[in-house]
Chains A and B, each alone.
Chain A
């Protein structure tokens, strides 16, 4: 049976297609202003990559903040359940999932059979999310992929004291005006994000094994800093940004 998972995130929309649980194809497009349009586009790309027709899909689950805008999905499931399910499928020993997405971050606890037993989400601001990094990259006139590499050169990271993204951006600009090295500022930004995630993780309780998902898991500096802070090995799936969609496709297979 062929199933699809669609994860409509604030920044990107991801689709994963499975046949009897086996990965057939995937796609990732920018979400933009049209949730449904981006889901259609990502689904078209994913079906092409999988070499199937859209009508071959037996069951489809939508997740992510834009899940409610996908009328052709058979069911809508939150990203908490989908990331939990996806991470557990990749690493069955997973008991804690840390997902840092574009506009929110979550820590999810799962039990031995893979059920979500508890979760915590960031409060209602962008600090501790991918959006925070995006805004700062723009202020520093560098690209997101460059950030992690530059941060690793830092010897004396600065302290970013503002948790509000807008004020933190002003703080960054003021550090630049003081002539502080860019790498120290960027490292400071990474530390600030990790502060937020670490606090959430410790509040919920971290149980081994810990898997990191979401687009920010591609940032090596964040992963290294978080690993150091939590004193835990962090498991990284091959394409962490697709784990929500993967989990959705797995749930679709169960519910078809």
Chain B
């Protein structure tokens, strides 16, 4: 029996209690501390340590656990003295362990329609299985999708804990006004949450400094990725994105990106690309399927196609200010091109395609993801005008039952044949 089967079997019996005990994660943390990874694997160790530490602290309950949605800047919750927990990320972790079908079934039993995004269904299934740290409060941000807000509202009702909604203005006509308005909202939120959380100026200083350091390393990583052939696998980058979604503002986030920068620098310096026979370079839009699948092996090993960059790894925000933290955090939120008019995302896609000198762009169309799929027409038309081939690859990031191997392979292969001309 392998580890996945062991976990899956324990999910259905009393063994589940071990996964909800802080001591379980503490033990794993200690074991991980003794792990001496091979050269180049330090970021993986840091990432694992971060998640074990997060779960340990979240179950230990010394600090309040704040459930929030992806793309809420984690610095907001770290600065408020809470532990950010993004259930969508843990749905992806469950999928990577092959456990998503169990949780998706649980969500179905709780009346959640298959029409709902599988990130949320997976997370809801984990919630109904009581296999996630319960929140002390729920903080939803109205970006990027309304489904996330509804899902978090359901979580708040399920756990009977307070629900806060941070309304993110659509930065259309007056970006400056939007930033001021959001900064005031953030300041008010921090004031309102003071009795629940532990806002202290030194925490804000630390969070801002860690976030800014990590940002500098991530910028360097992204610059190194412009190298041809690529020094970093797109499949890994699409998994590592969870570090900048959740760990920015912590020592883990800074260490992770510092080590990653060192790795890529060494690879570039010693001419050790991840794919020596690189034939095509691709830009990836949206996330990837997180359950075990052949997609990236198929692209990389069989066709020499490297995912050179991903839109979700772009650094779109400026440094956070220690002196005016909430104002700079508002700027970071509003700088996300995935929020607001589709034109912002389209402009970024064209610019990244040029910067990373890609041959084509793949948009992974997650079933149920309105906010991403809604801009496909504009993406396709604009990229076509710039003579950049585009593939809209329909699939599912979490629910492997929606992954059709044959059809996906034919679409990908046809796209690569099209690039070959």
Which residues in A have some Cβ–Cβ distance to B below 8 Å? 65, 68, 77-81, 104, 115-119, 121, 123-124
Contact B414 A116 (CB under 8 A): yes
Contact B410 A80 (CB under 8 A): yes
Contact A77 B404 (CB under 8 A): no
Distance (Å) between the CB of A231 and the closest chain B CB? 23
Inter-chain contacts of B421 with A (CB < 8 A): 115
**With A and B bound together, what is the CA distance between A104 and B404 in angstroms?**
13
**With A and B bound together, what is the CA distance between A117 and B414 in angstroms?**
10
CB contacts under 8 Å to A, within B397-421, are 402, 404, 406-407, 409-411, 413-414, 417-418, 421
Chain B residue at minimum C-beta to C-beta distance from A251:
B417
**With A and B bound together, what is the CA distance between A121 and B409 in angstroms?**
12
**With A and B bound together, what is the CA distance between A118 and B394 in angstroms?**
16
Q: Does more than half of chain B's interface fall in helix, strand or loop, or is it mixed? A: helix
**With A and B bound together, what is the CA distance between A68 and B421 in angstroms?**
22
**With A and B bound together, what is the CA distance between A120 and B407 in angstroms?**
12
**With A and B bound together, what is the CA distance between A65 and B413 in angstroms?**
12
**With A and B bound together, what is the CA distance between A79 and B413 in angstroms?**
10
Distance (Å) between the CB of B295 and the closest chain A CB? 15
CB contacts under 8 Å to A, within B365-421, are 394, 402, 404, 406-407, 409-411, 413-414, 417-418, 421
Across chains A and B, which 7 residue pairs bring their CB atoms closest together, nearest first? Answer: A80-B414, A78-B414, A81-B417, A78-B413, A124-B404, A116-B418, A78-B410
Contact B417 A116 (CB under 8 A): yes
**With A and B bound together, what is the CA distance between A163 and B385 in angstroms?**
33
Known interface pairs A65-B406, A80-B418, A123-B394; 16 further A-B residue pairs with C-beta atoms within 8 A, sorted by A's residue number: A68-B409, A78-B410, A80-B410, A80-B414, A81-B417, A81-B418, A104-B407, A104-B410, A115-B418, A116-B414, A116-B417, A118-B418, A119-B418, A124-B394, A124-B404, A124-B407
Contact B410 A79 (CB under 8 A): yes
Instruction: Known contacts A121-B411, A123-B394; decide if A78 and B417 are in contact (CB<8 Å).
Output: yes
Instruction: Known contacts A123-B394, A124-B404; decide if A65 and B417 are in contact (CB<8 Å).
Output: no
Chain A residue at minimum C-beta to C-beta distance from B411:
A121
**With A and B bound together, what is the CA distance between A115 and B418 in angstroms?**
8
Distance (Å) between the CB of B289 and the closest chain A CB? 14
Of B411, B418, B421, most buried by chain A (CB within 10 Å of CB) is: B418
Distance (Å) between the CB of A199 and the closest chain B CB? 14
Chain A residue at minimum C-beta to C-beta distance from B416:
A78
**With A and B bound together, what is the CA distance between A119 and B390 in angstroms?**
10
Inter-chain contacts of B418 with A (CB < 8 A): 80-81, 115-119
Inter-chain contacts of A116 with B (CB < 8 A): 414, 417-418
Distance (Å) between the CB of A254 and the closest chain B CB? 12
Contact A65 B414 (CB under 8 A): no
**With A and B bound together, what is the CA distance between A65 and B414 in angstroms?**
12
Contact A65 B404 (CB under 8 A): no
**With A and B bound together, what is the CA distance between A117 and B389 in angstroms?**
8
Chain A residue at minimum C-beta to C-beta distance from B395:
A124
Distance (Å) between the CB of A242 and the closest chain B CB? 19
Chain A residue at minimum C-beta to C-beta distance from B408:
A124
Chain B residue at minimum C-beta to C-beta distance from A77:
B417
Inter-chain contacts of B410 with A (CB < 8 A): 65, 78-80, 104, 121
